[in-house]
Structure 1
């Protein structure tokens, strides 16, 4: 079976460009901050998967379950009776000096008694085949979405081969996650709490919300009343929240309980949690167990709580707090890897062999001064895995680790996959994505039919398959749309229309210039309030089409559409979002080729992307009320543009009819203020454009919208609305 899997992997290598195109088209990204600026970048994907034999994975699975169960028992103990401290297994100074230990949750047992619902266990495989655990990540481990998404694409590239090679299906991760959320939920809906669009793992936040049917919530969308957590919809209605899958650190979770300067937390959330009124996934205070110094004691935890010998092994570790270990570390500083326990993401890791004498002496002084801050480990010579060098197309060995995901609800499950991360530099030992590394899929081969492993897998599959995500996904209706997302839907409609109609009108005017002169283009510029003094006509056209810093450019409209769309992944689905992503890619590529005249006509592809997006929305299962928010914005924008270009009044009948149709879909429902402001502004322009009949009909819309408009502003002052980006058109 392994040989067949290797052959299948070879097929993926031949299709790597197509797979990477699909990943790009679907916005599979990882954010990085460089020089204080946020940059979205594609997470580098390598098509050669890590392949794990079935029996080998069974042993890993047993060891991972054992380890996470012991860590959950430890967390429950240190925040309650503290037996492990009283019995002298772990010195109390290690527990209480951990940066991840929070006395604010002392005495709190979370709903279901589970602290680490999702554990990310980082492992490496030695050259002898033995697996070693390098780290336990119990706070907000990320990365499951990338192999989950990649596998879906891989399966479509060659379905026949996947039928012949039995790889365990990894698509059950959203069900595992949802099952854990439902098990601990107190009462109400489930939400994924993201700190915002510019978090490095925002793609994962939105994608997992989409796949689990949870609502994607920003901090301003939640509020605590009477020690209960509520989700606020755009009309100000409250919806009780029973489970929060939070994707921000403890320190910023609640400014009342932790960092008072946090502007991305939910005030009062910890009080609701302490009262047992909401489950937080993962529980606050879990950092007390994934502290790199506490890692040293995990084998003792397994023996203490479970009465078992550890199945998986720690890397040999030294604790400078212990006199004997400190002497060993200082004597062998040039041979060991030193880790700062306060750092994460590959930061604070120093290989002693890479330091000169002066740097080693400086590090030794720091270890002597702050021994609790560091651990030292033997360097594990772990296996290289081949990756395809993007420049040469040849296989090249790289260091790689494996992040295995363990999900705990009523039972503990190990996901039949994992995130294999590899170094971008040959020989480099640090593989973290934040350090420039890439990722691979992880294939776990299926057990032989009729074996004991096969029976266990069947039982698990039946249990997980019982979780029905469809009712949850259907909740992405207007009742769970927040004020900021209502704004996003409306402006998504306006910006996609702005890009489309502007391009459609652009080409006839541009063609006339070829037959006459640049004066033929002035009416187009005048209609859009653009400068008409074409000192350099070609430069003007380039700026109008491609200049991302020009708020009136086509590129700016498309990027603004994307910025509004990307936060709507759970509501719109990844399938629809890809068309807006594709338009961004096309305009970016065209800008890079802008020296060539042929790129002008590539703009028509962008117009086609907009048509595909609208058609996809119209024919999708997206709730009709959500569609109405998009298309009301779209047709308000179309009427604005048509009247700017002085199109005949009868050509306005169709967009007006569409506006009326989508308005009826919202009969009796409250409406966001952006509808009113958009039509009010347009009515103020029409007298100068000469459309008296249109003015009367739009006044009827305004009267209706005004009667149902919600007073007040969108709670998120940083929402991606055109009001902030283009003062000429609200």
Structure 2
């Protein structure tokens, strides 16, 4: 009965899919895809029809997943220490030591807390007969939990009745499970999420999970190892001890001293600190030795060997070309099997023999015979289709879909009551990985169909962890030099877009009133090109041209590029306004190209006002607010003086600048503050405003005396208004 009710009410989400996708868009829910050698940051397609799993069925999955991950953790502890499973002949040693994921650099190391795989992403499919099969174990840096977590939050608000009447198990405890595991293994110090950077395909998830767990989002250059201890460097150069790193970059790039010496995104010396037991790394380096596609073949043996139990979940029937008998089967049945290159991931290196012509099949057979360790072969499992709403037609169409279940291990092992259901980008396609262009669904795990059953509360099974103290750690003390610049320039770019739009409209009206050259003084004041053949060409360049560095669109995109780094500090709720401004300027450009009006600009200005108001009235640390608003009012004074507004108009922004600067009394300040005021002072003599010059000189004396010199990340030259300083 409960499943029928869930399916009935889930249909209501179909009618709200545009609302849900709009919310996902405005919150920047993205996943990067590389196509044709180019990186594309795109919205991760969401389908409103959830995968629904009944309570009893999921309970069986939960037991099997716990069993499997516990065995894999035992295997990792064994092969990096006593190697009993090798000595006892359960797994041939050549499979262990030839694995690309096996790193002798961590041999003999027991991680803090004794946990290797803190987060496991178990990829499963359900056959047409209803049986579940495990296709892969992902124990290095499994991604994807944030997407159903975020989608569920929107679904609950779009249709609250659905979640009141249908007993879907709550999935909002994932950040708490993750933080609890991190705290369990932490040595001493703060928790950080280590991201390789803004253009990583899963950067949204890195920032979102940092926000939700209260951990600090760190880039490799923000961390430093001294005396085998890991430290986080704030903008003033102070060091903060790090106790646990949730790393989101691959082993080979983690530490150039220990792994790939050419890595420029690693933290030199991190492995030494880890080996000394001074910092925990989630997940542990070397875990790839257990999620190698060839090692997958042996997981049922691990379960029997370490746990003394029969496997509760099925492996896909697998053949190992390293074994002579298996190799003969593979070569004989190549056209019927799916072949996987064990060195690849993300759906790459997977070949269905039936899709190959005779020549390609012969070539693959030669490669398998020459490098049998590199491949495995599996029977093709005819797994279930799930219905997906076609975004173009609105009709439901079947797509292949898998389920990535997340298992979190700290003091205990917990299976998250949700998961990432991924579906293929085209009907019939068997590869559903996110990196292959597919989309995702929410996964509803139903509670027992028992009216007397108490709602399942994870609090009853694990010790509660209060995230509020962690969330307060997003304060000035944990802001790096580069993020200080991000805050300052976020203020400047939002102001630049807002004020140039507001000041442009009177000139626009004058042009409409037949003064066709009225835009030229405006362009001249802002050092914009004036050699346009007509006013429409100027509007196209000034407002919408993303390739024109001085355009409003470029300012909004620059604001977004600074804002997206700051999700943990500012929150997803506030950043959605900047995302909306990006969407609206894109829509406005389309409307103008179709000879429509420029009324959409008002929405952009409203988005920016909403962002500023949200920051001002939020619980964001006052010093962080000051960083943004100092940038904002430095920019406003620059623009007002460029446009030759009356001196009386300078009183308000100057007063605001003084007010926000008092918030930072006694604090060291980022170099960008002094640089911004110094540059502005150099321009003002030509513009007049002698009283303003004197007041700003007092600011410069104060800022310059407290400035902390730093080398901010170079994300391009400051383009607009002929300013020659570097900016993030």
TM-score band, normalised by shorter chain: over 0.9
Comparing 638-647 and 587-596, the one that deviates more: 587-596
Give the secondary-structure state (helix, strand or coil) at the position aligned to 2:4.
helix
The alpha carbon displacement at 1:121 in A equals 0.1
Q: Which residue of 2 aligns with 1:648?
A: 646
1:723 corresponding residue in structure 2: 718
Q: Is contact 1:172–1:464 with CA below 8 Å preserved after alignment?
A: no
Q: Give the counterpart of 2:526 among 509, 525, 528.
A: 528
| Structure 2 counterpart of 1:672, from 639, 661, 670 | 670
Question: How far does the alpha carbon of each residue in 1:267-321 deviate from its partner, in whole angstroms, 9 at most, with x for none?
Answer: 0000000000000000000000000000000000000000000000100000000
CA contact (8 A) 1:493 1:631 kept: yes
**Residues 29 and 573 from structure 1, CA distance in 2 versus in 1: closer, same or farther, beyond 3 angstroms?**
same
* Displacement after TM superposition at 1:595 (Å): 2.7
* Distance (whole Å) between structure 1 residues aligned to residue 342 and residue 216 of structure 2: 34
Deviations 1:403-433 (A, max 9, x none): 0000000000000000000011111100011
Shifted more, 117-126 versus 384-393: the winner is 384-393
Tell me the residue number matched to 1:582: 580
Q: Distance in 1 between matches of 2:695 and 2:521?
A: 27
Contact 1:485 1:568 in 2 (8 A): yes
1:465 to partner: Cα distance: 6.8
Separation in 1, partners of 2:715, 2:357: 50
How far the C-alpha of 1:726 sits from its partner, in A, is: 6.5
1:424 corresponds to which residue?
A: 425
**Deviation (angstroms), 1:464:** 4.5
d(CA) in 2 for partners of 1:430 and 1:235?
Answer: 48
Moved more, 253-262 or 418-427: 418-427
Q: 1:473: which partner in 2?
A: 471
Q: Deviations over 1:568-610 (max 9, x none)?
A: 0000000000000000000011112223454312111101110
CA distance in 2: counterparts of 1:113 and 1:137, whole angstroms? 19
Q: TM-score, normalised by structure 1?
A: 0.98
Q: CA–CA distance in 2 between the matches of 1:608 and 1:633?
A: 19
Structure 2 equivalent of residue 487 of structure 1:
485
Distance 2:507 2:722 in 1: 25
2:26 aligned partner: 25
Residue 205 of structure 1: aligned partner: 206
Is the CA contact 1:316–1:377 (under 8 Å) kept in the aligned structure 2?
Answer: yes
Does the Cα contact within 8 Å between 2:550 and 2:719 map onto a contact in 1? no
Residue in structure 1 matched with residue 510 of structure 2 by the alignment: 512
Which segment drifts farther, 536-545 or 341-350?
536-545
Q: CA deviation at 1:708?
A: 0.3
Farther off after superposition, 73-82 or 389-398: 389-398
Report how far residue 34 of structure 1 moved.
2.7
Q: Tell me the SS of whatever aligns to 2:546.
A: coil
Deviation string, structure 1 residues 615-661 (Cα, Å, up to 9, x no partner): 00000000000000000000000000000111111111111111011
CA contact (8 A) 1:484 1:719 kept: no
Counterpart in 2 of 1:4? 5
- Paired residue for 1:444? 445
* Greater CA drift, 83-92 or 152-161: 152-161
Q: 1:725 to 1:533 in 2, by over 3 A?
A: closer
For 1:642 and 1:619, locate their aligned partners in 2 and report how far apart those are by CA, in whole Å.
26
| Distance in structure 1 (CA, Å) of the matches to 2:234 and 2:715 | 15
SS at match of 2:442: strand
Alignment of 1:543-562 (within 5 A): 543-562=541-560
Offset from partner CA, 1:511-545 (integer Å, 9 cap, x none): 10121323222210111011223323311210111
The aligned counterpart of 1:316 is 317
Q: CA RMSD in A?
A: 1.3
TM value normalised by structure 2: 0.98
Distance 1:676 1:19 in 2: 43
Checking the alignment, whether the CA contact within 8 Å between 1:194 and 1:205 is kept in structure 2 is yes
Aligned to 2:119: 118
SS at match of 2:580: helix
Deviates more, 1:510-519 or 1:627-636: 510-519
User: How far does residue 39 in structure 1 lie from its aligned partner after superposition?
Assistant: 1.5
In the alignment, is residue 706 of structure 1 matched against residue 701 of structure 2? no
Q: Are residues 222 and 558 of structure 1, via their aligned partners in 2, closer, same or farther at CA, if it must alter by over 3 Å?
A: same
Query: 1:612 corresponds to which residue?
Result: 610
Residue of structure 1 in register with 2:660 after alignment: 662
Question: Residue 326 of structure 1 aligns with which residue?
Answer: 327
Query: Aligned residues, how many?
Result: 724
Going from structure 1 to structure 2, the CA distance change for 1:223 and 1:677 (only over 3 Å counts) comes to: same
Counterpart in 2 of 1:358? Answer: 359
Instruction: Label 1:90 to 1:494 Cα distance change in 2 as closer, same or farther (>3 A).
Output: same
- Alpha-carbon distance in 2 for matches of 1:56, 1:12: 24
- In 2: Cα distance, 1:456 partner to 1:514 partner: 64
Residues 107-128 of structure 1 deviation map (CA, whole Å, 9 limit, x = unaligned) = 0000000000000000000111
1:239 alignment counterpart: 240
What does residue 182 of structure 1 align with?
183
Aligned to 2:147: 146
- TM-fit CA distance, 1:38: 2.2
Q: Matches of 1:114 and 1:455 in 2, distance apart?
A: 32
| Contact residue 559 and residue 584 of structure 1 kept, 8 A | yes
Query: Per-residue CA shift, 1:486-518, capped at 9, x if unaligned?
Result: 000000000000000000000000110121323
Cα deviation for residue 478 of structure 1 reads 0.4
> 2:467 and 2:596 mapped to 1: Cα distance?
47
Tell me the equivalent position of 2:131: 130
- Distance between the aligned counterparts of 2:302 and 2:625, measured in 1? 53
C-alpha distance in 2 between matches for 1:45 and 1:728: 42
SS of the residue 1:647 aligns to? coil
Corresponding residue for 1:593? 591
| TM-superposed deviation, 1:724 | 6.6
CA distance in 1, matches of 2:56, 2:517: 75
SS at match of 1:417: coil
CA distance in structure 2 between the aligned counterparts of 1:402 and 1:725, rounded to whole angstroms:
47
Q: Name the counterpart of 1:402.
A: 403
2:345 aligned counterpart, secondary structure: coil
C-alpha distance in structure 1 between counterparts of 2:109 and 2:495, whole Å: 52
Which residue of structure 2 aligns with residue 55 of structure 1? 56
**Structure 2 CA distance for aligned equivalents of residues 112 and 525 of structure 1:** 63
Q: Is contact 1:186–1:242 with CA below 8 Å preserved after alignment?
A: yes
1:631 to 629, 635, 650: 629
Q: CA deviation at 1:463?
A: 4.4
How many Å separate the matches in 1 of 2:482 and 2:620? Answer: 18
Instruction: Report the counterpart of residue 297 of structure 1 in structure 2.
Output: 298
Secondary structure of the residue aligned to 2:557 is: helix
- What is the deviation of 1:45? 0.5
- The DSSP-based 3-state class of the residue aligned with 1:633 is helix
Query: Does residue 277 of structure 1 match 2:278?
Result: yes
Structure 1: runs of 5+ lacking an equivalent? none
DSSP 3-state at the match of 1:518: coil
Partner in structure 2 of residue 502 of structure 1: 500
**Aligned partners of 1:81 and 1:532: how far apart in 2?**
75
